[in-house]
């Protein structure tokens, strides 16, 4: 009986600790990276995996990261040939499972919209309250779209663009979106087919379905609708 009582009263094993959310910081200013590291690493559920000041360094660090999903913070102030937009586009192409947040201070709506168009999952302002800043990181890690900035920063136009983009993404299939994005470069149906590795007739079929779903009658009109939503480059409509 004594032995049975001992077994029953034994404490249950402690649950395995959850892995912290990994964050990669990409910003040209060392003081910004240092400040963000201090803010993030003070939280038990977050950790900085790497901090770099250029695009090539960011890709190198991400390639070494043994995580299926991390949050990549990209400062919009990153300039040069490998600027912030190049980083966002390249990370989205090479590491599609990662969450990407563009980051800036009082950034122009056009810059934020461009970051979203190129693949960012949202935007967070550096001047945001620290608690809200960290909440934005957690939301991005959960796969949510984030637009976080102080009340003084007007993000209404960006939010409306984002809503239109979501609507189109629901209405169009992944292949139709891909065809539309390539068509926005001004390529012919045959060139689109060569780029995507499909038959020309397949491309024309996709285009016809796109026109029907968007309620337009030609390619230029379809591209204009998609450009207003941020789904394709605005320059393609000019």
- Mean pLDDT per 10-residue interval, the chain, length 238 residues: 46 58 94 93 91 91 87 92 90 90 85 81 89 93 83 60 67 85 88 92 91 85 76 51
Q: What is the pLDDT of residue 121?
A: 87
What are the structure tokens assigned to 46, written together? 């977050």
Q: What is the pLDDT of residue 207?
A: 92
User: Among residues 188, 190, 181, which one has the least CA distance to residue 227?
Assistant: 181
Q: What is the pLDDT of residue 226?
A: 77
CA distances from 24 to 27, 59, 113, 176 (A): 10, 10, 22, 32
Q: What are the phi and psi torsion angles at 5 (to 5°)?
A: -60, -40
Q: What is the pLDDT of residue 59?
A: 92
Q: What is the pLDDT of residue 5?
A: 44
Q: What is the pLDDT of residue 80?
A: 87
Delimit the domains of the chain by residue range.
Answer: 21-157, 165-237
Q: What is the pLDDT of residue 116?
A: 82
Find how far residue 99's CA is from the centre of its chain: 5
**Would you say the CATH fold of 165-237 matches that of 21-157?**
no
Give the integer Cα–Cα distance in Å for 186 and 91: 25
- CATH architecture of the domain formed by 165-237: Orthogonal Bundle (1.10)
Q: What is the pLDDT of residue 7?
A: 44
Residue entry with tokens 């990662």:
98
Q: What is the pLDDT of residue 229?
A: 65
Query: Which CATH superfamily is 21-157 part of?
Result: Response regulator (3.40.50.2300)
| Count of other CB atoms within 10 angstroms of residue 210 | 24
Residue entry with tokens 């032995």:
3
């Amino acid at each position: 009986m004594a032995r049975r009582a001992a077994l029953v009263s034994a404490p249950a094993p402690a649950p395995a600790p959850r892995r912290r959310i990994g964050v990669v910081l990409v910003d040209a200013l060392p003081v910004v990276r240092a400040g963000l590291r201090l803010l993030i690493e003070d939280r038990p559920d977050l950790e900085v995996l790497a901090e770099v000041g250029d695009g090539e360094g960011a890709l190198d660090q991400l390639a070494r990261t043994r995580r299926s999903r991390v949050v990549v913070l990209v400062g919009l102030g990153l300039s040069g040939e490998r600027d912030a937009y190049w980083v966002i586009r390249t990370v989205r192409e090479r590491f599609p499972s990662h969450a990407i947040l563009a980051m800036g201070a009082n950034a122009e709506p056009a810059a934020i919209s461009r970051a979203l168009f190129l693949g960012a999952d949202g935007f967070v302002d550096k001047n945001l309250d620290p608690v809200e800043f960290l909440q934005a990181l957690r939301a991005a890690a959960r796969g949510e779209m984030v637009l976080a900035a102080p009340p003084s920063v007007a993000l209404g136009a960006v939010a409306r663009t984002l809503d239109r983009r979501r609507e189109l993404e629901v209405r169009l299939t992944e292949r139709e979106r891909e065809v539309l994005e390539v068509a926005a470069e001004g390529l012919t149906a045959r060139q689109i087919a060569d780029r995507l590795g499909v038959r020309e007739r397949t491309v024309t079929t996709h285009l016809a379905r796109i026109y029907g779903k968007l309620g337009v009658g030609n390619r230029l009109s379809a591209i204009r609708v998609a450009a207003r939503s941020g789904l394709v480059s605005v320059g393609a409509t000019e």
